């Protein structure tokens, strides 16, 4: 068991490092493409590492001595002290990983929402419908939450609803509301709620691996930036940046616990929006991803 855990940790670290190197070498800036590279890194400890355990030649002494670039259990096989040190490292890594996971497993607040009532709420629901059509989306149901704080979020998995707090309706300007609505609907277009829950499932399965926890949270931040860009395409970068400045608390009630991580680095996201940057992958993105996948697979074979 210690060997499997140590191997998973090393494989994840190598894949994450390789992903970061490729992102820098290829100068990948578009959030959509960054998401793909990071998901590729997560696939290594989740799928590739267990599959490679079925290859008997990787356990042979000749392979470990002459071919493998790194053997995670080398020190554990050197004696009692080495085994104890390896076990301690694995234990500390698992403890740190569990802390990161539990921070995102806080149950979302179950707060009842209602259908729109009154002219202002009906007008906002119509505005959300128009924005959704601008994003080529089927308009979601718009529900209202009795809360003085400004909140916008998505609730639900199969057919998400757009939740708007009464505080948002009262306190946000026209520009801020436009940016906030577009951002949340952009999450709907990317199926980000389902993807966030999928990421959380992967993190729970690999709860002992801190690298997986860190990369998983970074994917969510990339998803937030992707939603920022898509929202800006139907409003403006200024409107989305303004919404981010007024809605720092929306992650507290988001139905996907992992997506609370998107509330981090708000200042950096606003700066990026106002500065501008590529919103979509450039030419050759598939070739870059294929090169990264081949390299990660080769490294996974050579790291035991």
In this prediction, residue 295 carries a pLDDT of 95
Burial of 86 from C-beta contacts in 10 A (0-12 / 13-18 / 19+): buried
Residue 33 and residue 222 in contact, taking contact as beta carbons nearer than 8 Å: no
Helix axes 210-234, 266-275, angle to 10 degrees: 40
Residue 200, pLDDT above cutoff 80: yes
pLDDT single digits (tens) 75-90: 555 566 767 888 888 8
End-to-end CA, the chain = 14
Greater model confidence, 198 or 73: 198
Q: What proportion of the chain, given as a percentage, has pLDDT over 90?
A: 64
Give strand ranges (E) for the chain.
142-145, 152-155, 161-165
pLDDT single digits (tens) 272-299: 999 887 667 888 999 999 999 999 999 9
Domain boundaries, the chain: 2-107+283-302, 119-275
In this prediction, residue 208 carries a pLDDT of 96
pLDDT single digits (tens) 204-260: 999 999 999 999 999 999 999 999 999 999 999 999 999 998 885 444 434 444 345
């Amino acid at each position: 068991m210690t060997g499997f855990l140590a191997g998973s940790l090393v494989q994840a670290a190598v894949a994450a490092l390789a992903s970061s190197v490729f992102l820098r070498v290829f100068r990948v800036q578009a959030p959509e493409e960054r998401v793909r590279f990071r998901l590729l890194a997560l696939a290594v400890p989740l799928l590739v590492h267990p599959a490679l355990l079925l290859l008997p030649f990787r356990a042979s002494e000749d392979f470990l001595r002459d071919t493998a670039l790194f053997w995670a259990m080398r020190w554990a096989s050197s004696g009692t002290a080495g085994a104890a040190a390896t076990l301690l490292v694995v234990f500390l890594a698992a403890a740190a990983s569990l802390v990161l996971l539990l921070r995102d497993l806080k149950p979302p607040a179950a707060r009842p929402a209602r259908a729109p009532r009154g002219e202002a709420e009906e007008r906002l629901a119509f505005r959300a419908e128009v924005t959704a059509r601008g994003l080529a989306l089927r308009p979601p149901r718009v529900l209202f939450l009795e809360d003085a704080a400004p909140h916008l979020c998505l609730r639900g998995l199969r057919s998400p609803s757009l939740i708007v707090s009464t505080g948002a309706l009262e306190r946000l300007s026209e520009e801020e509301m436009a940016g906030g609505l577009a951002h949340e609907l952009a999450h709907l277009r990317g199926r980000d709620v389902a993807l966030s829950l999928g990421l959380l499932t992967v993190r729970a399965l690999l709860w002992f691996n801190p690298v997986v926890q860190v990369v998983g949270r970074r994917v969510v931040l990339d998803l937030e930036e992707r939603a920022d860009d898509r929202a800006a395409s139907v409003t403006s970068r200024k409107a989305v940046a303004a919404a981010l400045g007024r809605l720092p608390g929306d992650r507290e009630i988001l139905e996907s616990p992992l997506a609370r991580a998107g509330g981090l680095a708000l200042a950096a996201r606003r700066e990026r929006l106002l500065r501008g940057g590529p919103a979509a992958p450039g030419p050759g993105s598939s070739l870059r991803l294929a090169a990264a996948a081949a390299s990660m697979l080769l490294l996974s074979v050579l790291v035991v």
